Amino acid sequence: MSPIRVGLVGIGEIARVQHIPTLAADGDFRLTAMASRSKPAVPDGVALFATQGEMIASGLVDAVAICTPPQVRYGFARDALLAGMHVLMEKPPAQTVAEVDDLARLAGTVGRTLFATWHSMHSAAVVPARRILAERGAVAMRILWREDVHKFHPGVDWFWQPGGMGVFDPGVNALSIVVGCLPEPIFVREARFRVMPGAHTPITAALELATPTHGSGYSALFDWDHKGEETWSIDWTLSDGGLLSLGGGGRSLALDGRTVVDAPDREYPGLYRRFAELVRDGASDAETRPLQLAADAFSLARIERVPG
């Protein structure tokens, strides 16, 4: 196959740091165009357009990777599918599960690939953790996802608007790992949010979770107001008393104190390998479970207003 020609829509931090270098190193794809209302730096040989519509009309792309805020992704994805493009959507793929479901239906109708991505599902620890949990089971789980939003996203305010998800923008990474690892479904039972003045979404969220076989002992803390060292960890207490510890957002895994995985960040190369497979197979992957868990937390949340 010739390389799939990709156009990036929305050139923010995630496009610059992850998508552009990953595409440059991937033989299955070639970055040929970018669409942005701003004037971003453009790699050699890549065309820049003001809108996605102009980019698609140029005939330079076979697929689009949508890296805009989630509030507007549905419209971009729908227009691209109707124009005959394959579509990759950054996480979270849209504002609502219903939007993703409708896009999946449309992709099937027009015969194009829709890939609703969750990059943390492609972290090095996920497959080994899934195998260990299937073999040894788990009786408890603790997610701890702490970082400083002002360090990683200075001046960005769309996170605090309806659909922006607040602390769940990074928190869904943990939820995607969990649904990718656990051998049974997981549910939100209780949620407590801390919300800043004027914001519609939380800066911290504490969840009580459950599975069909364990009604307690599963919890999560997402904190986007943390000033110390970042923590992206998930600990499982195994059925036989052992401990399985995932760290670094999925880059490391320890079993009973022994290192099982210690790997560099290769999530986005894995993500694009999956996209290439889907396009070759004429298939789609519209995973919505992490987004559904976040939506359930919003539905159940008790809200505390905190100083800005």
Which residues are the active-site residues?
91
CB 64 within 8 A of CB 56: yes
Measure the CA–CA gap between 158 and 267, rounded to whole angstroms.
25
Bond preceding residue 128 cis, omega within 30 of 0: no
Q: Report the distance separating Cα 53 and Cα 94, nearest Å.
A: 19
CA 230, CA 148: separation in Å to the nearest integer?
8
Give the residue carrying structure tokens 């928190």: 171
3-state secondary structure string, 40-103?
A: CCCCCCCEEECCHHHHHHCCCCCEEEECCCHHHHHHHHHHHHHCCCEEEECCCCCCCHHHHHHH
DSSP reduced 3-state for 247: strand
To which residue do tokens 């219903």 refer?
A: 98
